[in-house]
Structure formats: structure tokens, C-alpha cells
Amino acid sequence: MEGADLAGKILSTWLTVVIGLILLPSAFGVSLGISELYMKILVKTLEWAALRIEKGVPKESVLKNSAPVGIIQRDESPMEKGLSGLRGSGFELSDVFYFSKKGLEAIVEDEVTQRFSSEELVSWNLLTRTNVNFQYISLRLTMVWVLGVIVRYCVLLPLRVTLAFIGVSFLVIGTTLVGQLPDSSFKNWLSELVHLTCCRICVRALSGVIRYHKRQYRPQKGGICVANHTSPLDVFILATDGCYTMVGQANGGLMGIIQRAMVKACPHIWFERSEIKDRHLVTKRLREHIADKKKLPILIFPEGTCINNTSVMMFKKGSFEIGGTIHPVAIKYNPQFGDVFWNSGKYSMVNYLLRIMTSWGIVCDVWYLPPMTRQEGEDAVRFANRVKSAIAVQGGLTELSWDGDLKRAKVKDIFKEEQQKNYSKMIAGNGSLN
């Protein structure tokens, strides 16, 4: 009985701390400064660790590890100019050297596949001992790492799991109850309150510290919000500061339960696997939604996959064919506190969430950009590229023209055929592409 009483007291104390210091403040959108204080202590600790590593590692090793990522000085000149010094008129066997050189450059320094691996850190962040650059430095640094493991797994992980369970449970129960009410402005207000509250709880579960910039440009109703995509957490990061209509594929399991509950309270757009391949059906449903200026803005990630927080890849044009006002948003995470990028080909969702919940926390900046509309004579592709450029510039991200689907698929034959046609024109035209 004494053991049961002790366990009951510990549980009641735990819930009191969780509800009083975290749950209620997050529900009302109030910060007690605990997360900010935690981050300040953490920043000081990481700065100290970086200095210890710098003193303990030989200078030659530091210089080697701080070398620039780009190891090849590329010649970006067109094919015609690149081959001019190797060939005469017509086909020359020496042309093989040019294509071999370009092929080796692509293999050694592939600017696409490296976007689907974790972002490189300048200094070790005490999160893992599998860092390729890490070696034993000092006893004090090792003890700090051990203390960090104890804090992350024995204190933060249980706390975060508790908060995440409460947040998701409240979301399912709250949206289900709100869904029983008749359509009215009160129902819409209550639905937005439930979504905001639960998303704030889930972000607090990850020790999230988010800085929102230019909030006067927050997406308005009847518009489309487009953002770069690093993690499934992007949804919670944005939904903490405003409500959106989500667009995505209908799922089964726990995610399916959450989706079905959410759609009862708010007109989210979930597509079945067979429907999502029908572009006309998708476009029709999205146009019907934005036609109603009273409905929440649609949240879309045009890249279609997660990129590693360093770049913005090709935006699919479908989101920009619908019409309406586009509200661009740039999201940039601080990798010092944890690797937020989800490599779906390497980690399952459960494994990914475990890695996130045992990291130091989530720190990111969100920039709302001025609304953009399609200009006269501008096609959807150019409009998409213009929006992508604005997001890349604001977030300090590298802009790439490659399709993010290369993460799972091979390069389309059309790209290979384009290079073959250019080369054929050069041979037929005696070295000219005209």
C-alpha cells in the first residue's frame, strides 16, 4: 500500500506540474519563460562545449573539417562552349571526355541527393556520439554529454510524451464534439480555438521556440498558403499561429482517426489514394474552397516531399493553377538543437518522432511574405518559380530547379532526351545549336 501511495503522489505531482506550468499556459497562448530560459542555458552549454572541442582538437583537423562543402569547381558554360575546345565539326571521339567529366562531377558532388541527408553541423551539439568528427576531448565534456543523455531520456522524453498524448487526445475529442454542432459562426470559432490550443500543446511538447516575423502578412481566408517543407512538424509550427485547411491523402491507423475527427469540425480536404491521382478532381475541390472567402486558407507544401532545411526544390505547378491569392511562408529551423528533417526513406514515423522527442528542442524562424498573385501572361510554372525564389531568399535557402520526387524516383527520360537532342543538333549543325 505504501508503494501505491508513493506512486500516486508522484503521478499527481507530475500531472500538476504538467497541467499548471505547461498545459494551461500553452492553451491560452501564454509563455511563462520556461522554454526561453531552458534555451538560454542550453546555448551557453553548447558554446562551452564548442570551445572545449576547439581547444582539444588539433588545428589540422579543424581546418580539414571546416573545408567548404563544394569540392568541385564546376564549369557552368553550355554544352556548345564546353565541347568547342575538344572537337572540330561533326562527331569526334574526344566528345566522350566532356560527357565523362560531367558524369563524374554529378556522381562526386550530386546537388540533389545531398538535400535528402541530414544538414551538416559546424560544431557537435552533444546529441550523439556517432558524429564522424567526434573524438574523446576531456572528462568534463564527456560528463556533460552523459548528463545531457539523462536529462533528455529521463526528464524531457516522459514530459514530451505526456504532453503529446494530451494534445492529440484533446484534438480528437475536441474536434469530434465540435463536429456535432450545427454549422454556424460559433462552431467555426470553437473549431479554430480547439485547433490552435491543441497545436500549441503539441509544439510545447517538443520544447518549441518559434519566432514569427512580419505577422501583418499572415495568410487570409480564401487564400492559399505555400511554404517550404522540412518536416511533418511544419504543420504544427504554422498552425500554432493561425488556423488552416489541410490538404493531403487520407490515411489509416492513428493518423486516419485524427483526420476523420478533424474534418468533422473544419473543412479539411483529404483525398483517397485513387482521387489524388485525378488532377482535375483535386483542382476542382481546391477552387471550390478558395471561392468561399469565409473559409480558412489552404495550407500546401508544393515541393511534395521533405527537404533537409538547406534548400528549396521545384514547386509543383498544380497549386499555382488554381487561382486566388498566394501567401508565401518561409520556414528555417536551427539545426543546432536537433535534426528536424524527416528522411522518410531511412526512418519510420515512430523512429522519427523518438529522435525528435529526445533532441534538445525545436527552434525555428517563420517569415510571412507579402501576398502574391499571378501576373498577366505569366504561366503557372513561372509563377511557381517566382514564389519559390521569394521563399528561398527570405529563408536563406539554396534554390534548386530539381524535382523533389527524385528522392524516390529516377531522372525522367525527358531530361536525358533533351541533352541528346542538343548534342544531335550540334553534330547536324556543325557545332551550332541553331
Calculate mean pLDDT across residues 385-400. 92
**What tens digit of pLDDT does each residue of 264-311 get?**
888 888 877 666 666 677 778 888 888 888 888 999 999 888 888 888
Q: Decide which of 247 and 428 is more confident.
A: 247
Largest Cα–Cα separation, the chain? 95
DSSP states along 320-340:
GSS-S-EEEEEEEE-GGG---
So what's the pLDDT on residue 51? 83
So what's the pLDDT on residue 367? 96
Record the pTM. 0.78
Percent share of the chain, pLDDT over 90: 16
So what's the pLDDT on residue 433? 45
**What tens digit of pLDDT does each residue of 217-251 get?**
999 888 899 999 998 899 999 999 888 988 877 77
Give the separation between CA 244 and CA 295, rounded to whole angstroms: 9
Q: Decide which of 104 and 325 is more confident.
A: 325
- Rounded to 5 degrees, what are φ and ψ at 382? -65, -40
122: Cβ contacts below 8 Å, ≥ 6 apart: 66
Give the separation between CA 238 and CA 249, rounded to whole angstroms: 19
So what's the pLDDT on residue 377? 84
Mean pLDDT across the chain, nearest whole number? 78
Please give the helix or strand (H or E) that residue 227 lies within, else none. strand 224-227
Using an 8 Å Cβ cutoff, are 229 and 205 in contact?
Answer: no
Q: Decide which of 98 and 184 is more confident.
A: 184
Q: Measuring CA to CA, how many Å separate 271 from each of 211, 220, 222, 231, 407?
A: 32, 24, 20, 20, 23
Q: Which of 354, 221, 402, 384 is nearest to 296 (CA)?
A: 221
- Rounded to 5 degrees, what are φ and ψ at 269? -115, 105
Using an 8 Å Cβ cutoff, are 118 and 346 in contact?
Answer: no
- 373 pLDDT exceeds 60? yes
**What tens digit of pLDDT does each residue of 116-139 get?**
677 777 777 888 654 445 556 778
So what's the pLDDT on residue 369? 95
Using an 8 Å Cβ cutoff, are 311 and 400 in contact?
Answer: yes
Give the separation between CA 276 and CA 260, rounded to whole angstroms: 17
First to last CA, the chain: 91
**What tens digit of pLDDT does each residue of 151-164 get?**
999 988 988 888 88
Domain parsing of the chain, residue ranges: 133-402
Beta bridge partners of 246: 299
50, burial (CB in 10 Å: exposed 0-12, middle 13-18, buried 19+): middle
Grid cell digits, residue 315: 514547386
